[in-house]
Every structure is written in C-alpha cells, then in structure tokens.
Amino acid sequence: MTTRYLHNFLIKDLKKKMVFIGGPRQVGKTTMAQNILKHYSKNGMYLNWDSIHDQKKILKQEWFDEQTLIIFDEIHKYPKWKNLIKGIYDTQKDNHNFLVTGSARLDVYRRGGDSLLGRYHHWRLHPFTLNEFISKSLTPKEKFSRLMKVGGFPEVFLDNDQREARRWREERYEKIIKDDIRDLENIKNIQMMSLLLQLLRERAGSEISLSNIAQDIQVSVTTISNWISIFEKMYLLFIVKPYTKNVARSIQKPFKVYFFDNGDVIGDEGAIFENLVANHLLKHYNFLQDYTGEKHELCFIRDKEKREVDFAHIKDGNLEELIEVKFSDNVTSKSLVHMSEKLKPSKATQIIGPNFKKSTTNNLQKIGAIEYFLQTPP
C-alpha cells in the first residue's frame, strides 16, 4: 500500500511548525506517523500516551538531541497536555520537529494555560475514498464496491471481509465509548449513550429532531445535544447543518448526521451511498481548508416548501456548488433545478450511482460518483 494522501504535506509543514493530526480511531494516523519517521531515516522517537512507559518518557522529556522527529500519540488524554507541549516546543523547536496525533479533535481538546495558536498546523486524516490512490491492483469499481460493503477504514477495506468488518466495528465502538470517551468526558450513563449512537446510525442522512430522540430514550434534549457533540469530537460522526446566512437561525434548525465509517450506516443502498458521498465531500473540503486556510463548509439546503438539496459547498461564506445524490434515479431533481436557478451557485451537480455517464444541461451536470470523485483530488 502506498503512503497516505497527507504524507508529503505533513513533511513540508514539519519544517516550519508542530503538526497536529486528528482523525477517527484506526484511520491510519499511527501508521502514517511511523512512515513519516522513516523519512527521517528513523532518526526520532514515537511515544504513545496510552503506554505507561511512554508517559514517563514524555513527562521527563527523555529523548536525545540527535532524534530529529518526536511523535506524541494520544497525548491529548493528559489533562495538561497543551501546557506540556507548549513548553517542550518553545524550548526545543530548534533541535526537534514535533508531530502530535490523536483520535479526537485536537482543535477542540485544548485544555488550560496559554494558547498554542501560531505554533502548529492542524490536519485531519480521513478514511480511504475513491480519489485516494491505494493500490494498482484495485480498479475504481472494486474500490467503490468495498467502500459500500465494508467502509473505508484501512484494516477492513484492505481485508474486504464483511464478517470481520462487523467484528472490527463492534470492537472499535467498545474502545471509543468505554475507553476514549471516558478518558476525556465525564459521562455516567454510557449505556444510554450507546443507544443514542445506535439510533443515529439508523437516521444517517435524515434531519435530526433532538426532542424526538430525547423522548425515545428518556433523557433531556441538552444531554442528547451534548452526547452528539462528543461523538463529533471523537470523529464517530459529523454534522451537516442547513445553509443560511443567519448564524442564529442555522443553530436552531434541524441538522443531519453522517458517519466517518460508511459501515456504520444502518439503511438501504441509497442511505449508504449518500453517506459515502458525504464522506468524500467532507474529506475534500477538510483538505482544502487545512491546506489553503480558506473556510470550506458542507451544508444542505431546504426551503419552507420542503424542497431540499442534499449538499451545498460553501467557500468563505459563498455558495460554490449544489449537489444532489441519487443512487439509481437519473431523473433530474426538480429541487436541484429550482435551487440552482434561485441561488445561482457556480456549479450544480447530480451524482447518480457509481457509473452514470456524464451529461450537462445548462449549468447542471449529472455524473456518476466514480467519475466525479476521480476528478476531485483529496
């Protein structure tokens, strides 16, 4: 398997500042970090906070001057991690490069002390998608099939075994909910939190009513909102909000959830396909934002007449593209046409299944998912 799509960008950034890599558990952060260490001719040290032995080394700063790259994995689980990293970087940046990885949003878990802003570049690593080179032996059709069946996390994608993928997924839930979340959050009712996750898996791509879910599992709306926020911080799912220029109204409106692991979705092919497209889009927009510094958002659009377009790409507050997703229906979406005429985006696209042949009418293109994403870099 080739190196991941962020590899060269991280090596370049390490020459300037610390580099933070966030992303879901088991998405390949550690493997990528160790591959980057090889770039330094293995002249460095990998330290994982989950190891008691490594914890002692980190706190005592036990590494040699000649070890050019120091990798801290999962250090955000240490309550005073930010102050520790700040002190290490400020006193040792002339001798070492520092790479920090974690299975949570490192841009969120900044605890105590002075800000680290200005001292690091932050990147987000996503699962495999159609537009990431993985292996010469895999055709785009084979990649699409695997992404639909087992998801894009490296272990299950490469293994391509649905039974093993289900076992892997359950073990991953156990680790995240019972270990990672408890390490970072004061959650007492883990069982009800697990039930919420199960309900959300059945509602991927649908508008979420916090009050309805709160009633279903008999906890408060505030608790549901907090738990979903934690799932988002832990890269289990991501939230897609409605597009509106009024921020206050956007916060109040219903939102949708999608999952980083396409195998998390409980639903038909249409729901799984929509989640897959959402993953591709978010990966692309996150990459653009992390690389360019521009603000890229993934939203959806729905008006008072309940006309809806699945996705909208917002760049620096401006509508760039409207995207409608249909797994098998190649009839042009009336909502997409209406919203396109009304909102005047730069592009309007209807993605239809994996292999639909591209056609364009006026400013609206209909295209298969494989072709659309192969022409879009990560």
Residues of the chain predicted below pLDDT 70: 1, 108-114, 245-252
For the domain bounded by 7-124, which CATH number is listed? Answer: 3.40.50.300
First to last CA, the chain: 17
User: Residue 103's pLDDT is what?
Assistant: 87
Q: What is the maximal distance between C-alpha atoms in the chain?
A: 65
Q: What is the pLDDT of residues 152-166, one digit of tens each?
A: 999 999 999 999 999
Residue ranges of the chain that CATH labels 3.40.50.300: 7-124
Measuring CA to CA, which residue among 170, 106, 111, 127 is closest to residue 24? 127
What are the Cα distances from residue 336, in Å, to 266, 275, 303, 351, 360? Answer: 26, 19, 12, 11, 14
Helices (H), 122-189: 140-149, 154-159, 162-175, 181-184
- Tally of CB atoms within 10 A around 10: 20
> 69-73 and 97-102 as β-strands: parallel, antiparallel, unpaired?
parallel
pLDDT, residue 114, reads 52
Strands 18-22 and 97-102 turn out to be parallel
* Token pair 């991927």 in the structure block, residue: 204
Say if residues 368 and 352 touch (Cβ distance below 8 Å): yes
Query: Distance (Å, rounded) from C-alpha 339 to C-alpha 135?
Result: 39
pLDDT value for 248 = 46
Measured CA angle at 247 (ends 322, 298), to 5 deg = 30
Q: Tell me what pLDDT residue 252 has.
A: 52
- Please count the other Cβ atoms lying within 10 Å of the Cβ belonging to residue 263: 25
Q: What are phi and psi of 123, to 5 degrees?
A: -125, 155
pLDDT score of 378: 76
pTM: 0.94
pLDDT at 247: 42
Output the pLDDT for position 188: 81
Residues 121/16, Cβ–Cβ less than 8 Å: yes
Output the pLDDT for position 109.
Answer: 59
Burial class (CB in 10 A: 0-12, 13-18, 19+), 127: buried
